[in-house]
Structure 1
Amino acid sequence: MRIAFIYDALYPDVKGGVERRLYELGKRLSRRHEVHWYTFGWWGKGKTTEREGIIIHGLGKPVDLYKGDVRNPWEAIIFSWRLLRREIDSYDVIDCQEFPYLHAYPARVKFSGFETFVITWHEYWGDYWVDYLPMGARVGKLAENGLLKLTDNHVVVSRRTLLRLAEVRAGNFGFVPNGIDFEFIRSVEPHPELKYDAVFVGRLIKHKNVLMLLNALKLLVQELPSFRVAIIGDGPQRMELESLARTLGIRANVDFLGFLPRFSDVVSIVKSSRLLAFPSLREGFGMVVLEANAAGIPVVTVNSPLNAATDLIIDGLNGYVSDPTPEGFAEKLLLAWENSPKMKRPSLSLAKKYDWNNIANRLEKYYKGVANGS
């Protein structure tokens, strides 16, 4: 098969979950199929490049993906326009990622022949648009729901999103979750010097809810004064978070490590920690949860309607789901810290099922089904 991915960001130039999914699946599918990826030209000069078997087509100079805490609407418009103008080959399957929505419409126009058009859903926002983009909520909801009418073929990465989409419109929904490189994570050694009681990994933006983590830590250190947390990642909230840590009197308990370019360095620090603190209120999947489990540590996340990461947790086995309050989160952090050693084996067992090789086989089966009209 000739397969084409459509998405504006590229791994490892951008290290988000969607980019990582396409890269990991693409390089595995390319062993048996011809895989292409249409994106911005993140690598610099040249209209095309190749990475681990994936042929990558650049649509001009990249545009900033974010404007503060939200995705840059202008970036989505530029990507859509360049996609519309680009001469594009014929493919057996076109897999267009749902976000940032606008590009899916010109993509459907460009691939309007006999090819099979698939949209992969990482999240479904619905009424959340009112909170995310108050002035543009109506347009956002229309663009999102309109994607369900572009094709009958949809891949969904989480059961929570699958259930929400099925309530809106019927379709050929295939459940193909995200995955992890289980053997690579197992091969990384724990960091010899940086050892933490808890670690957070993610972009420092509002919905990641790191402010609540710091407030929970304030409560926790009253019982365990030496409790230390590493925060791996960067973003527009970093200065605010560092200021809050000083105000709360816990600055000595928190290390802001910033963005670590090498994934192995992230895994190494996660492995040297007792648990992953993941208080995010909105996750389309929560890949870092599985990566932490593959590193042998449990996860504490929060119960929120848009947090699909909770579906990866079996309470008391590979982690805990807390109330979205500092008090509730502090309680579960302490519980996971105490029980971390005995949660290692079940965490590893659950994570292994999500190895990228298994996920690639599932996606290939779905592609073959829609390509053959079954």
Structure 2
Amino acid sequence: MDFRIVYGMKVLILNRRCIKHPEKGGAEVYTMEIAKGLVEKGFQVEWFSSKPKNLKEKETINGINFIRKGNEITTHLYGFLYALKKDKSWIIIDEFNGIGFFTFPLKNSILLIHQLYKEFWTAELGLIGNIFKFIETILLRLYKNKLTITVSNSTYQDLIKLGFNNISIIENGLNISPLERKPEKEKVLTLVYLGRLKKTKNPEDAIKAYILVKRRIKNAKMFVIGEGPLLSYLKNKYTDFQDITFTGYLDASEKYKILEKSHFILIPSIREGWGQVVIEANVFGTPAIGYNAPGLKDSIKNGDTGFLVSNYKEMADTILKVWESKDLYEELSKNCIEWAKNFSWEKTRQKFLNLLKALR
């Protein structure tokens, strides 16, 4: 049976945020790469999301038709109603980010989930977050019989525990090719944090680790790349540390220049879907020191491309240990580049397309 005839090569993506959303993250980057790949193969692609004040209700980007309505809560209802208007020739991709779009009764829908929120709820909301953690679990179980796509073994295992039985792992990719060898790094020890500046990412722990390192290595410096609700707080608190540079948001080329020159990337997140910044840093032979958390356990090969630690003190100790062993650092750096060669968005898109074809 012809795949084109069965599905009409039409895909509706339901995601609470779009690629232009001011708080977009790795999930939106992943979705955009998949959507672009589908358009290149001749698919008609629509992406339904919430509407921030500065964005249009409708626009087309890279051949993808964006429809925006509601805030980050109400868009789930609007998105579900929009999905109901689609006939069976459409494939509906329901992205679950703490809450889904309730398409579990629809036979032509599949689930895409990067990570469970779990600890996120209590980190952001305190004790009341336990209520939302419970609701997330109940809502997710409604999808347990759907074809499900996730990006890491960590989330795969979380879903298995909830009774899911049809899960495929399709990891993130890369827009850049890994180098053939480690580039020339800064002459002084240089650390970098890259990500949203919010509680669940623990950016202050990265800074605390740096301060401990600096007690022994006086000329060490650090870049903090990203924006978020903690930016002003961190800049004000650490204003006396002249060797900490808060860059704010950087475009890809500026970000890559810093990753290329840095010696370590620090990732103290409490949970990740995968850890996109890990692989981006690995491209340049930059090892990651991250918390032993879901997602990071998948993207960081402990002892091979970086290290998993439990707290910022252990993070600082590990940095110093590796820095003082040049042979160990060179081995890690070499392994990082080899590890990064396993990933590309072309591979990710092809795996995704193959999965959709299997639906016929």
Query: Which TM-score applies when normalising by structure 1?
Result: 0.82
Q: Which residue of structure 2 aligns with residue 239 of structure 1?
A: 232
In the alignment, the residues of structure 1 paired with residue 12 and residue 31 of structure 2 have an alpha-carbon distance, to the nearest angstrom, of 10
In the alignment, the residues of structure 2 paired with residue 195 and residue 119 of structure 1 have an alpha-carbon distance, to the nearest angstrom, of 46
Deviation at 1:215, TM superposition (A): 2.0
Q: Which residue of structure 1 aligns with residue 354 of structure 2?
A: 365
Q: Structure 1 268/216 Cα, relative in aligned 2: closer, same or farther at 3 Å?
A: same
1:147-162 aligned within 5 A: 147-150=140-143, 151-162=145-156
Deviation at 1:47, TM superposition (A): 4.3
Q: Choose which of 76, 96, 115 in structure 2 pairs with 1:123.
A: 115
**Is 2:91 the partner of 1:93?**
yes
Q: Structure 1 348/40 Cα, relative in aligned 2: closer, same or farther at 3 Å?
A: same
Deviation at 1:191, TM superposition (A): 11
Deviation at 1:211, TM superposition (A): 2.0
**Is 2:60 the partner of 1:50?**
yes
SS across alignment from 1:203: coil
Q: CA RMSD in A?
A: 2.9
Deviation at 1:80, TM superposition (A): 2.2
Deviation at 1:286, TM superposition (A): 0.8
Structure 2 counterpart of 1:327, one-letter code? K
1:30-69 aligned within 5 A: 30-32=39-41, 33-41=43-51, 47-59=57-69, 63=71
Structure 2 counterpart of 1:82, one-letter code? Y
> Would you say the 8 A contact 1:277–1:333 is kept in 2?
no
> Would you say the 8 A contact 1:12–1:20 is kept in 2?
no
**Is 2:37 the partner of 1:21?**
no
Deviation at 1:344, TM superposition (A): 3.0
Deviation at 1:42, TM superposition (A): 5.4
Deviation at 1:38, TM superposition (A): 1.0
> Would you say the 8 A contact 1:194–1:269 is kept in 2?
no
Please list the CA deviations of residues 330-365 of structure 1 after superposition, one character each: whole Å capped at 9, or x if unmatched.
112224444444433321221121111111111112
In the alignment, the residues of structure 1 paired with residue 96 and residue 203 of structure 2 have an alpha-carbon distance, to the nearest angstrom, of 26
* Structure 2 stretches lacking a partner, 5+ long: 1-8
Identical aligned residues as a percent: 22
Q: Structure 1 130/299 Cα, relative in aligned 2: closer, same or farther at 3 Å?
A: closer
> Would you say the 8 A contact 2:274–2:295 is kept in 1?
yes
**Is 2:330 the partner of 1:330?**
no
Q: Choose which of 272, 284, 293 in structure 2 pairs with 1:283.
A: 272
Query: Which TM-score applies when normalising by structure 2?
Result: 0.84
1:158-169 aligned within 5 A: 158-169=152-163
Q: Which residue of structure 2 aligns with residue 255 of structure 1?
A: 245
Please list the CA deviations of residues 81-132 of structure 1 after superposition, one character each: whole Å capped at 9, or x if unmatched.
332454743343211111140x422x456xx3x52x1111211244764454
* Structure 1 stretches lacking a partner, 5+ long: 64-74
Q: Structure 1 47/223 Cα, relative in aligned 2: closer, same or farther at 3 Å?
A: closer
In the alignment, the residues of structure 1 paired with residue 322 and residue 36 of structure 2 have an alpha-carbon distance, to the nearest angstrom, of 36
> Would you say the 8 A contact 2:77–2:101 is kept in 1?
no
> Would you say the 8 A contact 2:121–2:132 is kept in 1?
no
